[in-house]
Amino acid sequence: TTEERSDLEEKYQLGYTQLLVNYFFAAARTGDVEVLAHFVDSGFPIDQRNSESYTALMVAAYHGQQQATAVLLEQGANACLQDKRGNTAIMAAVIKAEFEIITQLYRQECEAGLTNKSGMTLEEFARYWGQGDKLKDASIAAKKQTQP
């Protein structure tokens, strides 16, 4: 019947959409900047979330993909978005001690008092993960890179 075909088409479309989302996040995780750029240039929402509430920027930062992080930021990814735990992309980079990515993300202007669901600011989060000095160094490096 027409209704059954409509249901089947809807299920197919949902499956295809999920496949695209998975491919986009795989590109972020592996640093495939060509695929990321193609998605964004084709109108794919750059701040799309996966089933874990992460954005591609969070995934790229966590997996140490410096070039992918840069491309996503250049294309307008929002570095201030929070996942279901209230963590941001820079917090993902802090967990993995990704100094260059922390520096890239530190240049993004997020609300100063932003906290995660545990009530930790970025500085407190960095100290918790033993990365307080790395965050401080990254903030200094970020300021130097933005000065004329």
DSSP string covering the chain, please?
A: -HHHHHHHHHHHHHHHHHHHHHHHHHHHHHT-HHHHHHHHHTT--TT-B-TTS-BHHHHHHHTT-HHHHHHHHHTT--TT---TTS--HHHHHHHTT-HHHHHHHHTS---TT---TTS--HHHHHHHTT-HHHHHHHHHHHHHHH--
pLDDT at 12 over 60: no
Average pLDDT over residues 53-77: 97
In angstroms, the CA 109 to CA 121 distance is: 14
- Taking the model in full, what pTM does it have? 0.86
Residue-level pLDDT at 23: 94
Residue-level pLDDT at 47: 97
Average pLDDT over residues 80-98: 95
pLDDT at 11 over 60: no
CB 145 within 8 A of CB 103: yes
Residue-level pLDDT at 112: 78
Lowest pLDDT segment from 7-11, 83-87, 91-95 = 7-11
Report the interhelical angle of 132-146 vs 99-106 (nearest 10°). 50
Model confidence at 6, pLDDT cuts 50, 70, 90, reads low
pLDDT at 2 over 70: no
* pLDDT, averaged across the chain: 89
52's CB contacts (< 8 A; 6+ apart) are 83, 84
